[in-house]
Amino acid sequence: MDEFILDTEGMTKEFRGFVAVSDVSMRVRRGSIHGLIGPNGAGKTTCFNLLTKFLPPTKGVIRYNGRDITKLKPAEVAKLGLVRSFQISAVFGHMTVLENVRVALQRSRGRSFDFWRSDDVLRRYDDRAMELLEDVGLTGFAHLPAAQLSYGRKRALEIATTLALDPTMLLLDEPTAGMTHEDVDRIVALVKRVAVGRTVLMVEHNLKVVEGLCDRITVLTRGRILAEGDYPTVSRNPEVVAAYLGAEPEVSGGTAHA
């Protein structure tokens, strides 16, 4: 098997003359957690849309698991195990946490509705759903309406519904966005857990999270790759500091409390 599960060559996306993603050639190592970072508007989400086929590239080639997926449709790449979180998996607030995961399992199997009427089958799906809830730390919330979960736990539930598709490679777009400290820690632990035996590509603004999770990082600015490497390398790169890290409200170290 190829060392790299995903690679792009000259991936480019233009929106009416505006180049949002420009000549991006990147490789993601199988089994790694790979970070995609960069300032607002750098083209990160557009890259995700290109990789998961929600947008056709203007130019370039995308390969996944040794095959050219440039021309495939979103459902086709999802079937190949390349799955993006928070896309197929909206949380239904009126249903319980368990029911949300069960529906995701049912949809992932794509069987007819009647088939699900069988109690036996439903029970089997509930067993699998409970396993997934355990994976994301939501066992104790199974019978609560999803609407009652905290924001962070809702995102964990979304990850559970994504895992129901049994992805080989998982794309996470800002999994910790808008979270409290405690929720961030929980998601970090969760990503570590779900990354076992999988490849994860994640967009993340929280650099502590990136540092703690990512084996390798690609930095985008204005649609182009600015730097690539592990966190120590990338965070020392002066261009990266200027373009991205410098823009963060970093503690300057010199501002002691009076």
Bridge partner residues of 11 (DSSP): 24
Q: Which residues of 229-247 are buried (b: 16+ CB within 10 A; e: fewer)?
A: eebeebbebeebeebbbee
- Site map for Mg ion, 24-53, x if CB under 5 A? --------------------xx--------
Residue recorded with tokens 């400290």: 181
Residue recorded with tokens 């924001």: 151
Q: Nearer Cβ to Mg ion, position 45 or 96?
A: 45
Number of residues that bind ligand ATP (CB under 6 A): 11
Q: Nearer Cβ to ligand ATP, position 40 or 252?
A: 40
Our measurement of the distance from residue 151's CA atom to the centroid of its chain's CA atoms, rounded to an integer in Å, reads 17
Contact between 199 and 5 under an 8 Å Cβ cutoff? The reply is yes
Minimum CB distance to ligand ATP, residue 38 (Å): 6
Residue recorded with tokens 């095959």: 67
Q: Which amino acid is at 142?
A: A
Site for ligand ATP contains 84 (CB under 6 A): no
Q: How far is CA 54 from CA 48, 76, 87, 89, 138, in A?
A: 8, 11, 10, 15, 30
- Site map for ligand ATP, 7-36, x if CB under 6 A? --------x--x-x----------------
Minimum CB distance to Mg ion, residue 91 (Å): 20
Contact between 72 and 27 under an 8 Å Cβ cutoff? The reply is no
CA-based torsion, 116, 157, 27, 57: positive or negative: positive
From 40, 112, 252, 255, residue interacting with ligand ATP (rule: CB under 6 A)? 40
Q: Nearer Cβ to Mg ion, position 45 or 150?
A: 45
Using the rule CB under 6 A, give the single segment among 40-48, 124-132, 149-157, 207-215 that binds ligand ATP. Answer: 40-48
Residue 112's contacts (CB-CB under 8 Å, 6 or more residues apart) are: none
Q: Nearer Cβ to Mg ion, position 101 or 213?
A: 213
From 2, 25, 41, 140, residue interacting with ligand ATP (rule: CB under 6 A)? 41
Measured between alpha carbons, how far is 137 from 35 in angstroms, rounded to an integer?
Answer: 24
Question: Which among Mg ion, ligand ATP, none contacts residue 41 (Cβ within 5 to 8 A by kind)?
Answer: ligand ATP
From 5, 42, 105, 234, residue interacting with ligand ATP (rule: CB under 6 A)? 42
Whole-angstrom Cα Rg for the chain: 19
Lookup: tokens for 237:
């790169």
Minimum CB distance to ligand ATP, residue 45 (Å): 3
Distance linking the first and last C-alpha atoms of the chain: 59
Q: Nearer Cβ to ligand ATP, position 50 or 69?
A: 50
Residues that bind ligand ATP (CB under 6 A): 15, 18, 20, 38, 40-46
Residues at the contact surface with Mg ion, assessed by CB under 5 A: 44-45
